[in-house]
């Protein structure tokens, strides 16, 4: 099938590559010539495991192309996926300007029946706005929707960064919201044909009305964010009463009604989805005269959770951190991505620098993006920026540091050489925002270990080793 993907960001690239992989003729368009140049030269502007290899295969087979030619992109695809950004507005609502601009272009250059698919995460009612914009453009061309028919479909993505290719190729479910009319029936047949390869083992497609499909995406992310904030809230109480949140997690996760997923306490969630989707759904409620009290609490807990590690550092080392150096392992908001959006590391690093500390940061993948983002964060504080050093290895980050801070749970951090770690640090202190190690084991090795919601085991100062 001929498919157009509008937007070569995270969702658009993964969608385009995977659809090309199963044999479709895919045209990816973007208004950013820099991105298109990178893609046409064999590069990938984002880090996602497996994506570069898939793009190399599909490009070599001639099943995917990249261009800034909007007219050609509209003329190419019978199915037009809108996969552009929906960044949060000042009030937390999703900014739909890029979605509606894409819709306007489809109406402006449409050359036949089009299935317009909202792949971007958009609030309830967006499909109707897209429909209105396309109809306006067709009317301006003197065309009616009968002669150049179209249907607007909601097909939200459920891709985890770091596992997106696998999520797309082996989906848990495919949600399609579609109108129950003649155009909708035509669109349903095209979408069914497009997704046949993903349903051969068993039917994964859930058909529903458009508004319910739009709502489903927000509801899914809101539920996952709620589980994270719930455990983070409990972890802070566990710290106070002397319970171990890891034991609690195993205790409640063994209940099949609850399960283990998204029950890990940590230093807050980030990324491109959870923060903005929680805000957008809460704003949708406010616009409709309601309050989603649980979600507002979820957001507040997450905001405060990003300060928990810093509070532990201050309690251990004092408010004035001038002359102190901290190694930070992990900068991206989660492993297997270079995404720095709403990453906890940003808040933690800014807080340490503001107290006069020096920071030596390392991430296996996100170094270039971290440098760009942190320079923007600290643009008005050049004196702080001078005390931030992004280094090439995890061992280099440790050299001469007063303590290690773990922010992202990359695999290479899970079993380090603790002997080397102790010798490289001025004092053997770890502040672990992802609970990678066991407190008792750390104490036995003479490491002063502070985790999230786990008991702190006091060291025998005679075996401290420093």
Residue indicated by tokens 């290895």: 393
Q: What does DSSP say about strands 79-82 and 2-6: parallel, antiparallel, or unpaired?
A: parallel
30 labeled part of a ligand binding site: yes
411 labeled part of a ligand binding site: no
**CA atoms within a 13 Å half-sphere pointing along the CA-CB vector of 245:** 25
35 labeled part of a ligand binding site: yes
Rounded (5°) CA angle 102-204-66:
30
- Which SS3 state, helix, strand or coil, does residue 390 take? strand
276 labeled part of a ligand binding site: yes
263 labeled part of a ligand binding site: yes
Contact present, 249 and 263 (Cβ < 8 Å)? yes
Question: Exactly one of 18, 28, 267, 273 is catalytic; which is it?
Answer: 273
450 labeled part of a ligand binding site: no
- Which SS3 state, helix, strand or coil, does residue 105 take? helix
Residue spans of beta strands (DSSP E) within 155-190: 174-177
226 labeled part of a ligand binding site: no
273 is catalytic: yes
119 labeled part of a ligand binding site: no
209 labeled part of a ligand binding site: no
246 labeled part of a ligand binding site: no
399 labeled part of a ligand binding site: no
Q: Is 322 left (phi over 0), alpha (psi -120 to 50) or beta?
A: beta
217 labeled part of a ligand binding site: yes
266 labeled part of a ligand binding site: yes
DSSP letter for each residue of 289-352: T---HHHHHHHHHHHHHTTHHHHHHHHHH-S--TT-EEEEE--SSSTT----TT-HHHHHHHHH
260 labeled part of a ligand binding site: no
338 labeled part of a ligand binding site: no
Per-residue exposure over 317-349, b if at least 16 CB sit within 10 Å of its own CB, e if not: beeebeebbbbbbbbbbbbbbbbbbbbbbbbbb
Query: Which residues sit in the known binding site for NAD(+)?
Result: 30, 35, 86, 121, 161, 276, 341
Give the residue numbers of the binding site for substrate: 158-161, 217, 262-266, 270, 334
- Please report, in range form, the residues annotated as the binding site: 30, 35, 86, 121, 158-161, 217, 262-266, 270, 276, 334, 341
Which residues are tagged catalytic?
A: 273
């Amino acid at each position: 099938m001929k498919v157009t993907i509008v937007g070569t960001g995270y969702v658009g690239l993964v969608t385009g590559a995977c659809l090309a992989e199963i044999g479709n003729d895919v045209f990816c368009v973007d208004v950013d010539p820099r991105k298109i140049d990178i893609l046409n030269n064999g590069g990938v502007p984002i880090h996602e495991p497996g994506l570069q290899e898939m793009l190399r295969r599909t490009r070599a087979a001639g099943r995917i192309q990249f261009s800034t030619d909007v007219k050609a992109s509209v003329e190419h695809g019978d199915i037009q996926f809108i996969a552009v950004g929906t960044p949060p507005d000042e009030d937390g609502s999703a900014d739909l300007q890029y979605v509606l601009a894409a819709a306007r272009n489809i109406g402006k250059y449409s050359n036949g029946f089009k299935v317009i698919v909202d792949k971007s995460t958009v609030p309830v009612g967006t499909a109707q706005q897209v429909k209105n914009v396309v109809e306006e453009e067709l009317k301006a061309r003197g065309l009616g929707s009968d002669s150049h028919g179209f249907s607007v479909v909601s097909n939200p993505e459920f891709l985890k960064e770091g596992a997106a290719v696998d999520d797309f190729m082996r989906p848990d479910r495919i949600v399609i919201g579609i109108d129950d009319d003649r155009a909708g029936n035509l669109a349903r047949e095209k979408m069914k044909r497009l997704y046949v390869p993903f349903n051969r083992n068993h039917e994964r497609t859930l058909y529903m009305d458009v508004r319910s499909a739009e709502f489903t995406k927000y509801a899914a992310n809101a539920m996952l964010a709620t589980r994270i904030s719930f455990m983070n809230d409990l972890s802070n109480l566990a710290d106070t009463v002397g319970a171990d949140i890891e034991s609690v997690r195993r205790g409640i996760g063994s209940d099949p009604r609850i399960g283990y997923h998204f029950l890990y306490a940590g230093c807050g969630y980030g990324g491109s989805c959870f923060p903005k989707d929680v805000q957008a759904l809460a704003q949708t409620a406010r616009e409709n005269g309601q309050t989603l009290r649980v979600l507002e609490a979820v957001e507040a807990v997450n905001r405060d959770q990003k300060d928990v590690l810093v509070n532990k550092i201050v309690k251990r080392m004092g408010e004035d951190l001038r002359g102190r150096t901290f190694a930070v392992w992990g900068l991206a908001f989660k492993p297997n991505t270079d995404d720095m959006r709403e990453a906890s590391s940003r808040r933690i690093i800014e807080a340490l620098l503001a107290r006069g500390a020096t920071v030596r940061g390392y991430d296996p993948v996100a170094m270039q993006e971290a440098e760009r983002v942190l320079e923007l964060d600290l643009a008005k504080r050049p004196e702080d920026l001078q005390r931030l050093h992004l280094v090439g290895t995890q061992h280099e980050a440790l050299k001469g540091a007063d303590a290690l801070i773990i922010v992202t749970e990359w695999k290479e951090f899970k079993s380090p050489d603790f002997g080397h770690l102790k010798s490289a640090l001025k004092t053997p202190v770890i502040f672990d925002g992802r609970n990678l190690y066991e407190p008792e084991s750390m104490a036995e090795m003479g490491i002063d270990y502070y985790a999230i919601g786990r008991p702190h085991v006091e060291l025998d100062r005679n075996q401290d080793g420093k």
